[in-house]
């Protein structure tokens, strides 16, 4: 671990600082960020800061890991502002900041608004940082340790509920089919 490696994640109104290049999230008290909640595996997922950016890796969890509402298999890139969710209705974490060797990483790619708007660019997760950076509190060679800092507002999203919509459609279709069958039986049977 270098002196400037840091990951800050936010859950509800609490920021968690993890000094190091990775943060393991799960139900176990040995995790860097721990949640004692149904659907969260002992070691559920890991946020890794590389020289190329931020990666979220599912650690073989039973109920899955989502980034910005999309389930990941294995690992996937993430950005500052990304929302990581453990299981379909589990806790969420927002990635607030990621430093590698003191350098900020993981900014979301910018995109052009339009030709008429000139050279202005926007970032999908634009917001003030507001979290001061402090020196690491761990000794060299140690895995990171989490510390809490006062937090600002949290942002939560729900994963897509396409399975619920699909099931509702199937049940509605089955109900309509059953009613049509009953009507036919009544008319044909009379």
Predicted pLDDT of residue 177: 86
- Nearest CA among 109, 143, 151, 163 for reference residue 31: 143
Query: Over 70: is that where the pLDDT of 110 sits?
Result: no
Q: 123 and 152: one domain?
A: yes
Pair (181, 124) in one structural domain = no
Judgement on whether residues 89 and 119 belong to the same structural domain of the protein: yes
pLDDT of residue 181: 84
- Asked if residue 46 and residue 71 are part of one domain, the reply reads yes
Residues 178 and 92 reside in one and the same domain = no
Assigned token pair, 144: 């990171």
Residues 87, 173 within the same domain: no
Range of the domain at 189: 160-190
| Predicted pLDDT of residue 109 | 63
Q: Dump pLDDT digits (tens) for 130-170.
A: 433 333 334 444 444 444 333 333 344 444 455 667 777 87
Whether residue 112 sits in one domain with residue 93: yes
Q: For tokens 């859950």, name the residue.
A: 11
Whether residues 141 and 164 fall in one domain: no
**Residue 166: what pLDDT?**
72
Q: Are residues 103 and 182 in the same domain?
A: no
Q: 114 and 63, same structural domain? A: yes
Q: Would 1 be classed as within a structural domain?
A: no
CATH code of the domain in which 63 resides: 2.60.200.20
Q: pLDDT band for position 13 (50/70/90)?
A: confident
pLDDT per residue over 58-96, tens digit each?
999 999 999 999 999 999 999 999 999 999 888 999 999
Task: Specify the pLDDT at position 119.
Answer: 40
Give the count of domains, the chain. 2
Residue 31 has pLDDT above 90, yes or no: yes
Kindly tell me if the per-residue pLDDT of 184 is higher than 80. Answer: yes
How confident is the prediction for the chain on average, in pLDDT?
75
Q: Inform me whether the pLDDT recorded for 57 exceeds 70.
A: yes
* pLDDT mean over 23-46: 93
Average pLDDT over residues 2-25: 89
97 and 190, same structural domain?
A: no
């Amino acid at each position: 671990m270098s002196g400037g490696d840091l990951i800050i994640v936010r859950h509800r109104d609490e920021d968690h600082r993890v000094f190091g290049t990775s943060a393991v999230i799960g139900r176990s008290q040995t995790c860097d960020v721990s949640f004692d909640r149904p659907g969260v595996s002992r070691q559920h997922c890991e946020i890794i800061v590389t020289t190329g950016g931020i990666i979220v890796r599912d650690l073989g969890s039973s109920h899955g890991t989502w980034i910005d509402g999309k389930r990941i298999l294995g690992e996937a890139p993430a950005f500052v502002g990304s929302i990581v969710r453990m299981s379909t209705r589990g806790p969420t974490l927002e990635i607030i900041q990621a430093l590698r060797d003191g350098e900020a990483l993981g900014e979301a790619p910018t995109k052009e608004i339009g030709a008429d708007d000139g050279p202005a660019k926007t970032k999908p997760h634009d917001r003030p940082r507001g979290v001061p950076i402090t020196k690491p509190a761990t000794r060299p060679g140690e895995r990171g340790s989490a510390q809490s800092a006062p937090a600002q507002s949290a942002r939560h999203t729900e994963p897509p509920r396409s399975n619920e919509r699909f099931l509702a459609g199937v049940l509605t279709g089955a109900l309509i089919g059953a009613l049509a069958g009953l009507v036919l039986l009544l008319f044909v049977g009379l």
